[in-house]
Amino acid sequence: MTFFDEQTLNDLEFFVIREWLSNYCVGPTALKKATSLVPSSHFPSISNDLEKVEELRAIRITGESFPAIDFEELTVELKLLPVKNSVLQLEGYIRIATAADLVNSLIYFFDKREKEYPLLHSLFTKAYFTKEINEAIDKVFDRAGNVKDDASKLLFDIRQKIKSVRNQINRNFDKEIRKLMKEHVLGDTREAFVNERRVLTVLSTHKRKISGSVVGSSKTGSLTFIEPQINIELNNELELLLDDERKEIYRILQALTREIAVFLPLIQEYQSILTQIDFINAKTKLALELNCVLPGIENETRIELIDAMHPILWKNNKSIGKKTLSQYVLMDKSSRMLVISGPNAGGKSITLKTIGLLQLMLQSGLLVPVNSNSKMCFFQQVLTDIGDNQSIENELSTYSYRLQRMNYFLQVSNKRTLLLLDEFGTGSDPDLGGALAEVFFEELYNRKSFGVITTHYANIKLKADQLQNAVNGCMLFNTETLAPLYKFSMGQPGSSFTFEVAQINGIPISLIEEAKLRLDDRKVKMDRLLSELQREKTYLEKLNGEHIEAQTLANAAREDFLDKKRRLEEKLKTQHETTERNNKYVIAGKKMLSYIDQFVVKSRKKDVNSSLLEEVKKYLTVEKTKIEEAKRIEKLKTQVNQKPSKKPKANKPEKDPYERTKITIGSTVKLISTKQSGTVEAMDGENVTVTFGFLRMKVEKDKLMWVK
């Protein structure tokens, strides 16, 4: 945690995430972990934590019947069980029984799911399924949590006597009340309980008429509470029996504690397992609430965030019914320093904070709100310089503080560092501060650090364009409505739209034009150029989107046409075969009808139909022979097709007319479908990142042709 300092956590509002996580914790151990959660640079343990959360998330979203994580920790019980002759409280036995039931359920759940959820299954390697603990507790306690009468023979006998004595006391008392009611010496309430003994409520003027022991009186003194003489000995006997009951219960619980203490190592495992599951479950619930997933984890330093959301902004917007735009960010070795520019209030800081907060969440073992195809890596340190951090206590101005912070960055930065610098270089004279910021930028670049920097300085934008492994990005601005779009785009710097924003806020045009006259003409031209470039890029993106949509519709129509054509051809073929078969039957039928016409039914001649029958027999033989020959030919064709062919000689690979094998980073390529030319920026297997003018796209290699 050396290089994830408190300032970074505060700048990125990580404490909000910790607070949300804390709300899902059941026990104090998980709660303590949540409130003190910090990012880690120990990569193996982070990966292990993330995989466990992802496994439990998979269980939750598939709807499997997973046991509810509801328990109380066994901290007190684990302290008492090793102590000789100790006795647990009733609540302690209930906590142990609940924990045993829950762990047994979890062991049963994961027993046949080791291959599906190996890391969660590994939590139970030292625990085992047993009902002995709960059976021992159930022998002593009933469902209401009271010690059973038959917990021991002696307890059973004592309680039988208690029951008998109480019944006798109640019979005597009821008899005494009936008698005294006739004498009209009792108060309105007739009876009361004093020190858990049933006593008579007697009018004080008649108290000497009652035989018994006076145990008290009312506040006004008008009533006297008297224990009937007939019950005094019985109540004393009851007290002795209740004391015997308490002693026997203590002895029973002491014996039960010794019996359960045998399972101390297993109960310690219960505590360990449940506190771990509690924390993992809290992380999972937070992931489900924020639509988080586990992105692909890269060994190389690389970030590709697809549909990334700032979780705090998303949740706040959701509460007021406002839509939050997702962001796409790509940073790798060829674009490790990202300079974001654009108008104020356009979303530069949110984009920077999104990258930073998601990285902190990931390295704290939390899933992140991105598309599952996103890629992320681990950094040894994430450091920020965001906002106004002037120190009155140390008499530091904002700029002095930022210089001290920058000095610290220069001391610790390396290739596994992610720096997040908001409004880089501000706080001093623009020209002087810009020059110093440029030097800092180059130094951090030379240390091969990764960085996200927001700035208005033109020299920083220009430097990012000149350096091989740096890249510009901008927040888009609607040049027609003069309103920010809060959408991030990589590949070009953005205009600050200073004059446009001033115009929106009602500043007179005359003052704006006067301000332009006082500027260096080159700066005005550059700002205008950036504005025009952004307008053109927005237009091209719109055209490209329409082209892709049209191409998709055309492909769908083509597929539909080919499908209809195929079905029509199959239908025509079937009809043709049916027609041929029917024609054959018609010809055969006509032939047979001619034979029928020639057949003589009544004749004196004995062999009048012999020649006809011979002709019929000859016809049938010829037709049968044709059918058999057709079957034989068909059979031979089938055998020839099934006969293994000789292994063909290895042919030379066909020449690729599009020369895709020559495509490398820096090559000029064309889209086969549109003939649009672009430059290859990165390659990932069969996926190629190509820049078409101001548009950056990922394209499959099969859809490209090499130009030069």
pLDDT digits (tens, 9 = 90+) for 38-75: 999 999 999 999 999 999 999 999 888 899 999 999 99
Confidence band (pLDDT; 50, 70, 90) for 496? low
Q: What is the mean pLDDT of residues 572-582?
A: 85
Query: For a pLDDT cut of 70, what percent of the chain falls above it?
Result: 84
556 pLDDT higher than 50: yes
As a CATH number, domain 660-706 is 2.30.30
pLDDT of residue 493: 63
The two three-digit tokens of residue 703, written as one number: 């859809």
Mean pLDDT for the stretch of residues 658-684: 80
Please count the residues of the chain.
708
Q: pLDDT value at position 186? A: 82
Q: Which of 446, 387, 465, 453 is nearest to 419 (CA)?
A: 453
Under the banding of pLDDT at 50, 70 and 90, the label for residue 390 is very low
In Å, how far are 54, 226, 354, 356 from 296, measured between CA atoms? 12, 82, 18, 17
Average pLDDT of 603-614? 77
Average pLDDT over residues 500-506: 65
The average pLDDT across 198-213 equals 82
pLDDT at 699: 81
pLDDT in tens, 253-301: 999 999 999 999 999 999 999 999 999 999 999 999 999 999 999 999 9
Which of 383-397, 457-471, 674-688 is predicted least confidently? 383-397
Closest-CA residue to 401 (of 387, 415, 391): 391
In which residue are the tokens 């003018």 written? 693
Residue 395 confidence (pLDDT): 41
Sequence-ordered list of residues with C-beta below 8 angstroms from that of 337, at least 6 positions apart, any chain: 441, 444, 445, 449, 450, 451, 453, 464, 467, 469, 470, 471
Task: Tell me the pLDDT tens digit for each residue of 636-663.
Answer: 767 665 655 444 444 555 567 777 778 8
Question: Could you identify the residue written with the tokens 């997973």?
Answer: 66
Q: For residues 232 and 206, which has the higher predicted lDDT (pLDDT)?
A: 232
Domain 151-250 has CATH 1.10.1270.20: no
Assess if CATH 3.40.50.920 describes domain 296-507: no
Give the model's confidence band at 539: pLDDT under 50 very low, under 70 low, under 90 confident, else very high: low
In this predicted structure, what is the pLDDT of residue 247? 94
Instruction: Output 702 or 396, whichever has higher pLDDT.
Output: 702
**Do residues 341 and 477 touch, judged by C-beta distance below 8 A?**
no
pLDDT at 492 exceeding the cut of 90 = no
Overall average pLDDT of the 360-373 stretch: 96
Residue 34 clears pLDDT 50, i.e. is over it: yes
pLDDT on residue 561: 87
**pLDDT score of 393:** 45
Asked if the model's pLDDT at residue 377 lies above 60, the reply is yes
The pLDDT value recorded for residue 344 is 65
**Residues 6 or more apart from 48 whose CB is under 8 A from it?**
119
Tell me how far apart the alpha carbons of residues 541 and 692 are, in angstroms, rounded to a whole number. 10
- Interval 110-135: pLDDT, tens: 998 999 999 999 999 999 999 999 99
Residues 256 and 89 sit within 8 Å (Cβ to Cβ): no
Spatial distance between the Cα atoms of 188 and 203, rounded to a whole number of angstroms: 9
The pair of structure tokens assigned to 707 is 């130009």
DSSP output for 654-707 = PP-TT-GGG--TT-EEEETTT--EEEEEEEETTEEEEEETTEEEEEEGGGEEE-
d(CA 22, CA 32): 8
Helix (H, G, I), strand (E, B) or coil at 613: helix
Of 154-163, 379-388, 394-403, 619-628, the range with the highest mean pLDDT is: 154-163
Supply the pLDDT for residue 171.
92
Residue 536 has pLDDT above 70, yes or no: no
Question: pLDDT band at 677, cuts 50/70/90?
Answer: confident
The torsion angles phi and psi of 143, rounded to 5 degrees, stand at -65, -25
Domain ranges of the chain: 42-130+263-289, 151-250, 296-507, 519-581, 660-706
Work out the average pLDDT over 523-533: 58
Mean of pLDDT over the chain = 84
Place of tokens 């005294």: 180
**DSSP-derived secondary structure for 283-351:** HHHHHHHTT-B-PEEPSSS-EEEEEE--HHHHHHHHHTT-----EEEEE-TTS-EEEEE--TTSSHHHH
Tokens standing for residue 459: 């020299």
State residue 277's pLDDT score.
Answer: 97
Average confidence (pLDDT) over 165-177: 89
Rounded-to-integer distance, Cα 692 and Cα 676, Å = 7
Q: How far apart are CA 609 and CA 185, in angstroms?
A: 140
Helices (H), 190-228: none
pLDDT at position 348: 83
Residue 360 has pLDDT above 90, yes or no: yes
Note the pLDDT of residue 354.
Answer: 94
Phi-psi domain of 19 (left: phi exceeds 0; alpha: psi -120 through 50; beta: other) = alpha
Residue 392 reports pLDDT greater than 50: no
Long-range contacts of 500-509 (CB under 8 A, 24+ apart): 500/343, 500/531, 501/343, 501/344
pLDDT of 346 above 50 = yes
